Amino acid sequence: MIEIEGITKRYDAAAVVDNVSMVIEPRTVCVIVGTSGSGKTTLLRMINRLVEPTSGIIKLDGADNRSVPGYELRRSIGYAIQGHGLFPHRTVAQNIATVPVLLGWDKDRINARVDELMTLYQLDPQAYGPRYPHELSGGQQQRVGVARALAAEPNVLLMDEPFGALDPIIRTKAQEDLLAIQKRFGTTIILVTHDMEEAVHMGDKIAVMDAGKLVQYAEPAEILANPASSFVETLVGASERPFRLLSLGRVRDAVENGTAEGDALPGDASQRDALAELLWSGRPALPVKGADGRPLGRVTVDGLVKRAARPA
């Protein structure tokens, strides 16, 4: 659990982060979203003390994050940044091993961990381990950057626009991979982005920041349904709202009894994708199948449209 209590950071007179308090539950994804200059990155960097707060306390599992030296704290917290920041003079395997080496793990344990992470990220350890970062594609570099952040099995992973430099197709894949790994390791992730789409998709909770202040901190559905201010409403994008709301739900949860003609939709597709498929195919309803291929029922345009309406 991460408790942020009255954190303020001032540069000269200007408060970049202004009296922010929030609690991040363990094993959840918290997305901090805001425009540039909103203080979201500074807030993130105060958690691992790359920036020291002017006032306020941040507690990690109950312990003040100033109770150990900054470099020791940072070894226990994963950190991934935009443009990956891989060490160009070290091989992929050496890059991933950075924090374990700093922690003095023995060689076998480091090698085993590097192999495990590379396999997890679909990079063959034999083929890619000895390569240098500039020999990889952008998507591969980003994966190595996240693998490096996860190498020492941190409980907390901080990510500063980790997908910002990726093209849309690779970005979607990287987001899915991250969510899968988050579920697997139970890591608490705090992710900074300016992309509301990404925030709604990734976040168990979303923190909206504006001009150094925490404007709203709630679950995605709540942010979409009841934006706390006109700023949040603008950020959400009024025209996108119903679709973003739909994107939170799975088709499985919108299934109605009955049958329909056409290609079956998978049950774990998002309701937004289902609506798009319905509209595009011109049918009023499509069948839904479970992961095992069994029919679950059908999903209808009317049903989904009702779900896209503002929650009461």
Judged by CB, which is closer to another protein: 100, or 297? 100
Selected range binding another protein among 17-25, 68-76, 122-130, 186-194, rule: CB under 8 A: 68-76
# of chain residues touching another protein (CB under 8 A): 27
Selected range binding another protein among 112-120, 129-137, 237-245, 291-299, rule: CB under 8 A: 129-137
Q: How far is the CB of 81 from another protein (least distance, A)?
A: 6
C-beta separation of 300 from 285 below 8 A: yes
* Of the candidate residues 25, 61, 72, 263, the single one contacting another protein (CB under 8 A): 72
Q: How far is the CB of 270 from another protein (least distance, A)?
A: 32
Query: What secondary structure does DSSP assign to 158-199, as a single string?
Result: EEESTTTTS-HHHHHHHHHHHHHHHHHHT-EEEEEES-HHHH
* Of the candidate residues 30, 46, 73, 110, the single one contacting another protein (CB under 8 A): 73
Q: How far is the CB of 156 from another protein (least distance, A)?
A: 12
* Of the candidate residues 79, 121, 163, 243, the single one contacting another protein (CB under 8 A): 79
Non-local CB neighbours of 203 within 8 Å, separated by 6+ positions = 29, 30, 31, 191, 220
Phi, psi of 172, deg, nearest 5: -60, -45
Residue 71 binds to another protein (criterion: CB under 8 A):
yes
Selected range binding another protein among 14-22, 131-139, 217-225, 272-280, rule: CB under 8 A: 131-139
Q: How far is the CB of 53 from another protein (least distance, A)?
A: 17
Helix (H, G, I), strand (E, B) or coil at 291: coil
Judged by CB, which is closer to another protein: 86, or 251? 86
Beta bridge partners of 229: none
User: Per CB under 8 A, which of residues 155..174 are in contact with another protein?
Assistant: 158
Q: How far is CA 209 from CA 1, 24, 165, in A?
A: 20, 15, 22
DSSP annotation of 135 reads G
CA distance 144 to 104: 21
Q: How far is the CB of 72 from another protein (least distance, A)?
A: 7
C-beta separation of 198 from 206 below 8 A: no
Judged by CB, which is closer to another protein: 47, or 215? 47
Selected range binding another protein among 75-83, 117-125, 181-189, 234-242, rule: CB under 8 A: 75-83
CA distance 42 to 51: 7
**Pattern of binders to another protein over 80-119, x per CB under 8 A?**
-xxxxxxxxx--------xx--x-----------------
* Of the candidate residues 48, 193, 271, 300, the single one contacting another protein (CB under 8 A): 48
The two tokens of residue 167 are 């093209």
Q: How far is the CB of 155 from another protein (least distance, A)?
A: 15
Non-local CB neighbours of 220 within 8 Å, separated by 6+ positions = 199, 200, 203, 205, 206, 244, 248
Helix (H, G, I), strand (E, B) or coil at 110: helix
* Of the candidate residues 133, 162, 220, 303, the single one contacting another protein (CB under 8 A): 133
CA 271 and chain centroid, separation? 20
Positions touching another protein (CB under 8 A) are: 48, 50, 71-76, 79, 81-89, 98-99, 102, 132-134, 145, 148, 158
